[in-house]
Amino acid sequence: MSQALTQLSSDERMFYDSVARFARDRVAPHVAHMDEKGALEKSLLPELFELGVMGVEVPAEYGGSGASFFTAALAVEALAVVDPSVSVLVDVQNTLVANAVLRWANEEQKQRYCPKLTAEWVGSYALSEPASGSDAFALQTRAVKQGSRWILNGRKLWITNANESNFFIVFANVDPSKGYKGITAFIVERGFKGFSVGKKEDKLGIRASSTCELVLEDCEVPEENLLGEIGKGYKIAIETLNEGRIGIGAQMVGTAQGAFDYAMKYMIERKQFGQSIANFQGLQFQYARCAVEIEAARLMVYNAARLKDAGLPFVKEAAMAKLFASEVAERTTSMCVEFLGGVGFTKEYPVEKFFRDSKIGKIYEGTSNMQLQTIAKLLQSQYGG
């Protein structure tokens, strides 16, 4: 058991254990089939809402759990130990969608949407486009005001949860002449005229997590669905993603831990040359290093989440946590495949799936190079550069 987990408060530990138990009992039986068919088991969605992990930070007055950002990160980690696909669904719901609504929506919008997001509606965060990835502010989606409506036209790519979602935070530019200062956020419901969910990506990993294109063809959005101020969408995007990176870090910690737990049990049980292979020093040095790195990554994620909850600067720490945890997940899961030898390379054993699932951690919500750039800029500022 991780020392960091043993030091959680009693409420935090109880919450973590309840999510971990749900993951083992309810998610685990579906993991292989979900991965094979590339789709979420539909029966899990209402159970996730009932568990209370789809609105962890949302205040009780809006139907949520009223807990902390740190608590949301714990849920993401605990689910990823069993299935990173289900974990990222919960991650996006909390650290991106609900987070943005709580910070930027007006009271009427919170009253209208938060109860749905905590009880039945999955949400998506739609920023990326065909020509807009790391350069997020190069987005081409346009929004034009017509009477009491905004008309949106464009395409969004790589949108997590899109197949399951009824609620989308969509970024569009209302005045391209102002560059990124024309970017504005809108709340789009699945049933709005001119909105549709397009092609689902056939991915290497986190296959049960839907990743789809969104198509906006004269999509009609009521003016009351403007999120925040006109031209402030860039601020919403930056600040929300800064927090979301902590969630990805938590997902990667859980992914690494899930693969490591399975590999350790296998190595202890597997006999060669008359003894457990876990006794061989060549393997001991390797799995000991894996354990060190997982614990270090966990502590970095927990630190960033605690700083965020305390209202202290956390952007550098969030970038570091996301960067390091994703690297640790990739290294650890790769080693776990090797620890199992030939069977580790087969789909009959779960470590190859953890290996595939880990790769996305270094790509989405800011590539590793983007994290390094953020860290470097903040270090320059720290040292007077």
Q: Is 190 exposed, middle or buried (0-12, 13-18, 19+ CB in 10 A)?
A: middle
Would the pTM of this model clear 0.85, i.e. be above it?
yes
The per-residue pLDDT for range 364-379, each reduced to its tens digit, is 999 999 999 999 999 9
Rg for the chain, CA atoms, rounded: 21
Residue 136 has pLDDT above 90, yes or no: no
Active-site residue identified among 41, 57, 317, 365 = 365
Cβ neighbourhood burial of 50 (10 Å; 0-12, 13-18, 19+):
exposed
User: Is residue 28 pLDDT above 80, yes or no?
Assistant: yes
Q: Among this protein's residues, is 217 annotated catalytic?
A: no
Domain boundaries of the chain, sorted by first residue: 3-122, 124-232, 235-382
Check whether domain 3-122 has CATH 1.10.540.10, yes or no: yes
d(CA 266, CA 269): 5
Please write the tens of the pLDDT for every residue from 41-89: 999 999 999 999 999 999 999 999 999 999 999 999 999 999 999 999 9
Angle at 295 between CA 247 and CA 268, to 5 degrees: 120
Q: How far is CA 274 from CA 100, 271, 280, 283, in A?
A: 57, 6, 11, 16
pLDDT, tens digit, for every residue of 268-282?
999 999 999 999 999
Q: In the CATH scheme, what architecture does the domain 124-232 have? A: Beta Barrel (2.40)
CB-based burial label for 2 (10 Å; 0-12, 13-18, 19+): middle
Q: Give the pLDDT confidence of 326-361 residue by residue, as tens digits.
A: 999 999 999 999 999 999 999 999 999 999 999 999
pLDDT band at residue 2, thresholds of 50, 70 and 90?
A: confident
pLDDT at residue 15, rounded to an integer: 97
> Given this model, what pLDDT does residue 70 score?
98
- To the nearest whole percent, how much of the chain has pLDDT over 70? 100
Mean residue pLDDT of the chain comes to 97
Using N-to-C axis directions, what is the helix angle for 233-269 and 69-80, rounded to 10°? 40
Q: How far is the C-alpha of 243 from the C-alpha of 295, rounded, in Å?
A: 21
Predicted confidence (pLDDT) per residue in 216-270, tens digit:
999 999 999 999 999 999 999 999 999 999 999 999 999 999 999 999 999 999 9
Pairing relationship of beta strands 165-173 and 122-126 according to DSSP bridges: parallel
Question: How far is Cα 305 from Cα 308, in angstroms, rounded to an integer?
Answer: 5
The three-state (H, E, C) secondary structure of the chain, written as one string: CCHHHHCCCHHHHHHHHHHHHHHHHHHHHHHHHHHHHCCCCCCHHHHHHHHCCCCCCCCHHHCCCCCCHHHHHHHHHHHHCCCHHHHHHHHHHHHHHHHHHHHHCCHHHHHHHHHHHHHCCEEEEECCECCECCCHHHCCCEEEEECCEEEEEEEEEEEECCCCEEEEEEEEECCHHHHHHHEEEEEEECCCCCEEEEEECCCCCCCCCCEEEEEEEEEEEEHHHEECCCCCHHHHHHHHHHHHHHHHHHHHHHHHHHHHHHHHHHHHHCEECCEEHHHCHHHHHHHHHHHHHHHHHHHHHHHHHHHHHCCCCCHHHHHHHHHHHHHHHHHHHHHHHHHCHHHHHCCCCCHHHHHHHHHHHHCCCCCHHHHHHHHHHHHHHHCCC
Question: Mind listing the pLDDT tens digit for each residue in 291-301?
Answer: 999 999 999 99
Give the CATH number of domain 235-382: 1.20.140.10
68 is written with which tokens? 């902390």
| pLDDT digits 0-9 by tens, 150-162 | 999 999 999 999 9
AA identity, residue 146: Q
